[in-house]
Chains A and B, each alone.
Chain A
Amino acid sequence: MKLVLALTLVAAALAALPAAAAAGPVVHGDWRLGGYRVKADGTLGGARAEFGRPSRLVRTSAVTCAAAWRPVGLRIGFYNLGGLDPCGRRTGRFSHAVAAGERWRTNRDLWIGDSARRVQRLYPNAEYGPTARAGGAGGS
């Protein structure tokens, strides 16, 4: 009886979630990560407004900062070339992001874990190359 009640409560809680939240965050090209509008507000503060407080925030050099949101499966690199704090909410500017959490997908419905064949089908004009082309994207 307790198990039935627990399952009922879980089902009710899941039903109450917004559809978008249940489906997970969506990458829209290179301009939006979930609700984080990278081009309109590519600040660290904008990322915090969308994903919350980073689980990791490290100044990696005089001009770079690495942030991570582990529960979301997201890492973002920020920078400031003007001598201001690259880890500042207003002064850290978006450089690159790595979304590796299994709930991430693109607006064309490409999910983490999908096959190369599906990449080709959804992105027929995609270029293929060595991982090195991603540069420091994985370094945050």
Chain B
Amino acid sequence: MEFALITLLNSLCYGLLLFMLSAGLTLIFSMMGVLNFAHASFYMLGAYLAYAISMWIGFWPALLMAPLVVGVLGALVERYGLRAVHRQGHMPELLLTYGLAYVIGELVQLIWGRAPVPYRIPAGLDGSLFTFYGTSFPAYRGFMMLVALLMLVAIRCLLTRSRTGLVIQAALTHPEMVEALGHDVPRIAMLVFGGGCALAGLAGVIGGNALVTEPSMGATLGSITFVVAVVGGLGSLNGAFIASLLIGLLQTVAVAIDYSLRDFLSLCGLSFSSGTDLRLHPHPFWDLTIAQMAPVLPYLLMIVLLICRPRGLMGAREG
């Protein structure tokens, strides 16, 4: 029982971290139709800038400043990069962000080196929030979950309650009409791209000190954010939220399951001895446990979903 509750808590925490990472990506895609391959690089940039600023001033100013700096950089990329290739279609935009990912990666290594940097959790948040059946729940994780939820609420409010948000929503489906009504749609696009990058930067500020801040930190997390975006439905923020919680649950619970195909078959009554020479094939696939496959299961989910329901959980149908 206690293990189940702890697993649930862990999965909630991990799911919210994934949401924090993929919120910006979904927002950019829903507005501009471009899948930002450099999203994970902006996440990394946010972490490194937060490290630099926290070394200079402190963590809390870094929490405010680093996402702003990353947002401004994102806006500049949109204004001088994406806008120039926009008229050529989606593929050149995609390629631009792909190249940008490499450029940012190399720049970070040139400035801060190739080794991990000691970006630490601030002393105020370093400790246990509460003790749950003997396992302590770190205060910083609670902080991460809070920021993720605030992010969701803030984006929702911005999109539905503010004037800018309403214009953004209108520009999603009727950009020419909105422009005819006198709104500056390219400027809106720049704001949205900058905002999405700022969200990635914020995720970096929060996640960089809990996880290791190193030049390859974006590479592994980049792929899982795409999975969340695809599973949730490209363009749907609610879908991204549900998908990230689902994937968090799936991955965390799977680690606890030590059953393999052989165990499952023996439950059904079919047992067999390993006829293969274990020296030639030391790890036959029927001995592979679900726990060993756990980090791969989200990708499996994505493949299954793309086959059965290509628009994702809450995505809009194409066309």
Are A and B genuine complex partners? no
